[in-house]
Structure 1
Amino acid sequence: MDQALLVFITVAEQKNFTRAAEMLHMTQPAVSHYIKDLEQTMGTKLLERTNKYVRLNKAGEIVFYHAKEMLGLHTRMHSLVDDLLHTASGELIIGASYTFGEYILPHVLAELDRQYPLIKPTIKIGNTEKIAEWVADHQLDVGVVEGDLHHEKLFIEPFAEDLMYLIISTGHPLAQKSKICVGDLSGEKWIVREKGSGTREMQEKVFEALHIQPSEILEFGSTQVIKESVEAGLGITLLSQWAVRKEILLGTLKRVCCQGLPFSRKFSWVTQNITFKTKVTEVFLDILGNKSGFPQFKALEK
């Protein structure tokens, strides 16, 4: 990649010439020289500079965006060529939505490490919308999301089913009923995830499909907080079977079936919509597609 673009990206990200020079192991005059040459090439100033800050102007924002894409393509080109000559190794940046990332991905990574110990994964957790955004912006090699996702710039492939169950505390009045009908669920206080979450999307679909009208909705940004709140008797919820398996075994939460439930959704992997993938990405996707490769996955589906 052109050295001037690399210097420019570093200055823009560090917002400081001195720090950029330190990171690049260059002198500050050399950094300034590269920036000056790039600005002459582009025919305009790219940075606003004062004694207090360095920041991108409008032209700089355009150059920065495309320079980042070029850097990503340059790195990817080298990775693909290297993959032809060596076994799968190196960094793999994975993003996952909360349910998959917190309750299933650790088992997948253990299997990845067993088969390919030279791959070093980095994990970023976010809701489904955020994972899609990170993949589209080249911040992730691959993402795993839950629920429905449509994005014109991404390739999205379902690979596993998830069942969403009504979850209540063992001390809840509904826990004592031999049979629960949908009518029992209206008027209850429901605890749900934040908007943008795949779990929240499913929760709202269930409300609509079953004509459930909660008496009150509490919105929490963490599945763990929701589970603790339900266990404490604050309300009821709809969660993935995988998110509550330990609590079900311990008897602190109860998984309930009624008409229309459990509700099925899909886990999908998400990548850039491109022909070539790095070998580390391909082997990770192979493990996702081959659920028999990690027994924990099959056990959770029972």
Structure 2
Amino acid sequence: MDQQLEVFVTVAEKENFSRAAEELHMTQPAVSQYIRSFERIMGTKLLERTNKYVRLNKAGEIVYHHAKEILGLYTKMHYLIDDLTNNTSGPLSIGASYTFGEYVLPHVLAKMKESFPFITPSVTIGNTKDIAELVLGHQLDVGIVEGQYEDKNLVIHAFSEDSMCVVASPQHPLSEKEEVSLEDLANETWIIREKGSGTREAAERMFHTYHIKPKKSLEFGSTQLIKESVEAGLGIALLSDWTIHKENANGTLTILPASAISIKRQFSTVLQSPFQTKALQVFLDTVTNKETLSEVKNDFYNRK
């Protein structure tokens, strides 16, 4: 059954029998036979076929969703059993929200690689909500998310604190002030992330805590785009210290002196299953180790 699931998922993702056969190192007739056999077992057609494309129908979408979960669990089971007798090695699928994934995680993985070179991590970057859902669907071994995310079906453990700051272009009028008031901030255009983002959640928490009602807001889908937009003078933003260190050092972004505001948030690990491969245990030990994170931060902040 696992072979049929793998063939079905590959055909669904490639939307083409020939490309799926090439991916699976099989012949096209063999792929077609697997699909026909699988559809007989399911008792219904799962794919719409034309000369131009192969697409999932409604039943196929349901089967595809669960097939991905089943294959993820099957792979995890295989590596758990393999771990009983072998050294720490193998694949590790990690998901991370943008701030941690793009600015912190690469340095954590480099530290892990020094002692465990046979672990082969793959990384998916997305907003907090998307990463949590992928973990819940067994498509990621572990997620790192930002902010106060909650889900009763996930094991969520806060392991590090992240400081947030309000930033503007050096040419922005507020950059000239010795102290920026809450009223000043309310009168500005704010550039914020999309719903589901940990950075968006932090901004909304700040607005609520300090009773700030922005005059205008713009919603952009990436931290890099927000930084470029702030540099261009489109508005101000609340961003993590990690994300603006280089720009602040180079003088392309300025941290506004708003002492009335103090916003911190948590980085948290997100797990779905209590069973962990050795590779996952090693990653969790590394990423939650305070000394390791301190070394990473020192190295990061000392870079020019």
TM-score scaled by structure 1? 0.88
What is aligned with 2:289?
Answer: 290
Matched residues, percent identical? Answer: 58
Determine whether 1:212 maps to 2:226.
no
Sort the Cα spacing of 1:289 and 1:33 in 2 relative to 1 into closer, same or farther, 3 A. same
Residue correspondence of structure 1 range 2-13 to structure 2 within 5 A: 2-13=2-13
Q: Could you tell me whether the CA contact under 8 Å between 2:93 and 2:121 is conserved in 1?
A: yes
Structure 2: how far apart are the matches of 1:186 and 1:35? 58
What is aligned with 1:28?
Answer: 28
Q: Could you tell me whether the CA contact under 8 Å between 1:129 and 1:196 is conserved in 2?
A: yes
Residue correspondence of structure 1 range 162-241 to structure 2 within 5 A: 162-241=162-241
Residue-by-residue CA offset, 1:209-266 (whole Å, 9 max, x unaligned): 2122322222222322322333343322211111112223333333234354220111
Structure 2: how far apart are the matches of 1:7 and 1:227? 43
Q: Tell me the amino acid that sits aligned with residue 184 of structure 2.
A: D
Structure 2: how far apart are the matches of 1:4 and 1:149? 36
TM-score scaled by structure 2? 0.87
Q: Could you tell me whether the CA contact under 8 Å between 2:179 and 2:259 is conserved in 1?
A: no
Residue correspondence of structure 1 range 144-159 to structure 2 within 5 A: 144-159=144-159
The alignment covers a number of residue pairs equal to 301
Q: Could you tell me whether the CA contact under 8 Å between 2:135 and 2:271 is conserved in 1?
A: yes
Q: Tell me the amino acid that sits aligned with residue 137 of structure 2.
A: D
Task: Report the alpha carbon displacement of residue 86 of structure 1 after superposing the two structures with TM.
Answer: 2.0
Structure 2: how far apart are the matches of 1:173 and 1:244? 19
Unaligned 5+ runs, structure 2: none
Residue-by-residue CA offset, 1:130-189 (whole Å, 9 max, x unaligned): 212222232222111111212233221111111111223334333333333322222122
Task: Report the alpha carbon displacement of residue 300 of structure 1 after superposing the two structures with TM.
Answer: 6.9
Residue correspondence of structure 1 range 1-302 to structure 2 within 5 A: 2-272=2-272, 274-294=273-293, 295-297=295-297
Sort the Cα spacing of 1:2 and 1:260 in 2 relative to 1 into closer, same or farther, 3 A. same
Unaligned 5+ runs, structure 1: none
Q: Could you tell me whether the CA contact under 8 Å between 2:2 and 2:71 is conserved in 1?
A: no
Q: Could you tell me whether the CA contact under 8 Å between 1:291 and 1:298 is conserved in 2?
A: no
Q: Tell me the amino acid that sits aligned with residue 117 of structure 1.
A: P
**Following TM superposition, where does structure 1 have runs of at least 4 consecutive aligned residues deviating by more than 4 angstroms?**
298-302
Q: Could you tell me whether the CA contact under 8 Å between 1:193 and 1:219 is conserved in 2?
A: yes
Task: Report the alpha carbon displacement of residue 197 of structure 1 after superposing the two structures with TM.
Answer: 1.6
